[in-house]
Structure 1
Amino acid sequence: MTDRTSPGYAEIAAHYRQLIEDGSLRPGDSLPPMSQVKEQFGVTITTVNRAYRLLKDEGLTLPRPGAGTVVADQPQVASTGAARLARIARTGEKYAPGETSIGHVAHLRSCHDPQVADILGVELGDEVVLRRRVFLRDGKPAVAAFSMIHMRALVDVPELLQPQPFDRFWQEIYTERTGRLTTKSPERRTARLASSDELELLGVQAPENAAVPVLVLVNVFHDDRGPLEVWEDVYAPGLWQVEGEKP
């Protein structure tokens, strides 16, 4: 009989899902034999079997003769911004396995998006800092990421106008220099039609004036003075996202 505090199958699946997302288990790597997992977590073999079946149903693993359960290739998976930040905090790794980024741009730009202006508490046409990059998954554009940052952040982090990526999340530098902690609102998900610029960044070939729907994830960051950054991730069509946030 297992201990009543033993994890359920969903928790065991979440453990290995996290290892896969962080790159500790890479495509082709074998998961431990179910008997070993049974002993490690103090559960029944039925619980382990359900956990492994869930990972398979999610497309994260597959059976392979002679190797047991192995991590599957995931060319259609891209992490969310929240998951990316959580991974950096856990592992220090900026990129998921098979991921990199290109097209880094940083400059001042007039804010013409009413929603972004409202969130940041600025007037339409006011300048904001725009930072842009494109995340590649296995060499193909997966996510166009846009950061719209309140101008007051430039006072303490002038490096925001340098296009090269930071070696850590820029808000950590902001907190060190100001003593102000930043917080993130819950990640929002929506769908809309992509702009022509977004389609170009994502390498999507579409007829002129074609309506191409895309998934958009929005993260908003604040400090004690108010909204600081709006971060939008625009996903290439055909990709699915992994949230991956854990306490």
Structure 2
Amino acid sequence: MSGNTGYAEIATFFRRQIADGTLAPGDSMPTQKQVRQQFGASITTVNRAFQMLKAEGLTAARVGQGTTVAERPRVAATATARLRRISRTGRAYGPKERSVDHQARLLSCADPDVAAELDIELHDEVLVRSRVYMKGNVRTIASFSFINPRGWAAVPESLSPEPLERFWQEDYKERTGRTTVKLPERRGARLAYPYELAMLKVDAPPNAAVPVLVLLNTWHDEDGPLEHWQDVFAPGLWDSDEE
């Protein structure tokens, strides 16, 4: 990338490097002079890009250190951002991120919303894969994957609670010859269920009303809905679509 590069493009370049962990929290950003030379941009353009990154909370100015990548303990990536990161880098996790408490269970689908998302009858059998994402020592997201029976029938290893080597839909597409399409990510707020608070280790009084951010993603193939994701963010957490 060079020559007539705009400030938004420069900001996007570094935003992705931060998201992918190429530039980790605490790392020094290149100097504005270095960025000017890299992109062939004016000092005004580079300064504007740096101001944008700072305004987004991605970078911070430190005395004697210049501009560094900021720590963001209360920000977690959306599912869409995680998938984009995997596509770009092959890495499932961002800086200081990991997942724990993996489970996979075949359950009767008692949630009418999930049944509608998967276009199955209420109480039909569904595969539920769950895990908790952590950033450092902070539990950030309780994540649930609800997989249509024809999905886990084609990829039986998805029944294992262990983390899979790659996104199971890649195996599904190879084995069935079908393509999958993700609908636009949706988000909203609701009160957390007790089991979600337990997964996130939120210390709340019994029967307390704890609002949480929830992100929904659903994939289809030519036969209809295949998989539905629900990401429940810990209270007080912000989502990031660029991590």
Matching residue within 91, 96, 112 for 1:114: 112
Q: TM-score, normalised by structure 2?
A: 0.96
Report the Cα offset of residue 233 of structure 1: 0.5
Tell me, in whole angstroms, the C-alpha distance in 1 between the residues paired with 2:232 and 2:4: 39
What corresponds to 1:186 in structure 2? 184
Tell me, in whole angstroms, the C-alpha distance in 2 between the residues paired with 1:155 and 1:126: 14
Tell me, in whole angstroms, the C-alpha distance in 2 between the residues paired with 1:148 and 1:21: 27
Matching residue within 75, 78, 85 for 2:76: 78
Matched residue type, 1:161: L
In structure 1, the residue corresponding to 2:149 is in which secondary structure?
coil
Question: Are 1:236 and 2:234 an aligned pair?
Answer: yes
Q: Structure 1: 5+ residue runs without aligned partners?
A: none
Tell me, in whole angstroms, the C-alpha distance in 2 between the residues paired with 1:232 and 1:6: 41
Question: Are 1:63 and 2:61 an aligned pair?
Answer: yes
- Write the mapping of 1:98-137 to structure 2, written as runs, cut at 5 A: 98-137=96-135
Identity of aligned residues (%): 57
What corresponds to 2:28 in structure 1? 30
What corresponds to 1:176 in structure 2? 174
Q: TM-score, normalised by structure 1?
A: 0.94
Q: Is the Cα–Cα contact under 8 Å of residues 73 and 138 in structure 2 kept in the other structure?
A: no
What corresponds to 1:142 in structure 2? 140
Report the Cα offset of residue 154 of structure 1: 2.1
Matched residue type, 1:8: G
Tell me, in whole angstroms, the C-alpha distance in 2 between the residues paired with 1:130 and 1:159: 13
Q: Deviations over 1:144-188 (max 9, x none)?
A: 000000011122111111000101101001111111111111111
Question: Structure 1 segments of 4 or more deviating over 6 A?
Answer: none
Matched residue type, 2:31: P
Report the Cα offset of residue 65 of structure 1: 2.7
In structure 2, the residue corresponding to 1:152 is in which secondary structure?
helix
Tell me, in whole angstroms, the C-alpha distance in 1 between the residues paired with 2:105 and 2:173: 22
Tell me the number of residue pairs that the alignment of Structure 1 and Structure 2 aligns. Answer: 242
Tell me, in whole angstroms, the C-alpha distance in 2 between the residues paired with 1:208 and 1:66: 49
Q: Is the Cα–Cα contact under 8 Å of residues 28 and 66 in structure 2 kept in the other structure?
A: yes
Matching residue within 196, 221, 230 for 1:223: 221
RMSD: 1.4
Report the Cα offset of residue 224 of structure 1: 1.2
What corresponds to 2:52 in structure 1? 54
In structure 1, the residue corresponding to 2:165 is in which secondary structure?
coil
Q: Which moved more, 1:49-58 or 1:161-170?
A: 49-58
- Write the mapping of 1:188-207 to structure 2, written as runs, cut at 5 A: 188-207=186-205
Tell me, in whole angstroms, the C-alpha distance in 2 between the residues paired with 1:127 and 1:44: 60
In structure 2, the residue corresponding to 1:84 is in which secondary structure?
helix
Q: Deviations over 1:1-51 (max 9, x none)?
A: xx9x72322221111111001000011111111112122222211111111
Q: Structure 2: 5+ residue runs without aligned partners?
A: none
Tell me, in whole angstroms, the C-alpha distance in 2 between the residues paired with 1:185 and 1:63: 39
Tell me, in whole angstroms, the C-alpha distance in 2 between the residues paired with 1:148 and 1:112: 12
Question: Are 1:21 and 2:19 an aligned pair?
Answer: yes
Tell me, in whole angstroms, the C-alpha distance in 1 between the residues paired with 2:169 and 2:230: 16
What corresponds to 2:158 in structure 1? 160
